[in-house]
Amino acid sequence: MFEKNYIVVEGPLGVGKTSLALLLAERIHGRTILEDAEDNPFLASFYKDPKRFAFQTQLFFILRRFQKQDQINQIDLFKRVVISDFLFDKDRIFARLNLDDREFSLYEQVFNLLKVKIAKPDLVIFLQARTDVLKERIKERDQDYEKSINLSYLNQINQAFNEFFFHYTETPLLVINASEIDFVHVPSDFDNLILEIQKMEKGTKYYVPLGSRH
């Protein structure tokens, strides 16, 4: 069904990347590698006091994401499709937003050492959505550590993701406007996404669905 053996689903907080990764894996009988952000013991403290806990939070994330990526390196991608809900490079998006200049300089050294060991995906799917949609979806999933996220910070993240993927050229990229679709609860929305993924080849493609929400 798929010629892509390593697919990454990315996007800002609340956009639905983990849900889509799980659905894709179920449809194609693939294996998931998920980042499990809630495992970060500094995350709740970061949302309450960003300046104090930013570096610890980011350092934990980059090392944990590298460990997850190392699992992919050990899988025979010719025999099994792997679906992940994070791109290693996205760690730098949050680092640039949250760290001061000295912290970011140190972070960059760690990032560059680890980056060379990361496998490139065959396809990256970037889910876009308006910030108000992200806020609503975060509220719906009701995670304690996310309750203190403010709209301004969420909007910064959203803009940073859009900017990053606007310039992204490392792998084939499928950009999906996910503001008005519900691929979890509306089968036709998910089926249409599958068709777009199947048709995806090289370069960057933008998919703007008609939408199922009114």
Any idea which residues carry the catalytic annotation? 85
d(CA 70, CA 212): 38
Report pLDDT digits (tens) over 100-143: 999 999 999 999 999 999 989 999 999 999 999 999 988 888 77
pLDDT digits (tens, 9 = 90+) for 54-78: 999 999 999 999 999 888 877 776 6
Would 214 be classed as within a structural domain?
no
86 lies in some domain: yes
pLDDT tens-digit readout, 139-174: 888 777 777 788 999 999 999 999 999 999 999 999
Q: What's the CATH number where 133 sits?
A: 3.40.50.300
Distances (CA, A) of 175 to 11, 87, 89, 97, 123: 10, 14, 16, 22, 11
How distant is the alpha carbon of residue 38 from its chain centre? Answer: 14
Q: Domain limits at 90?
A: 6-207
Q: Into how many domains does the chain fold?
A: 1
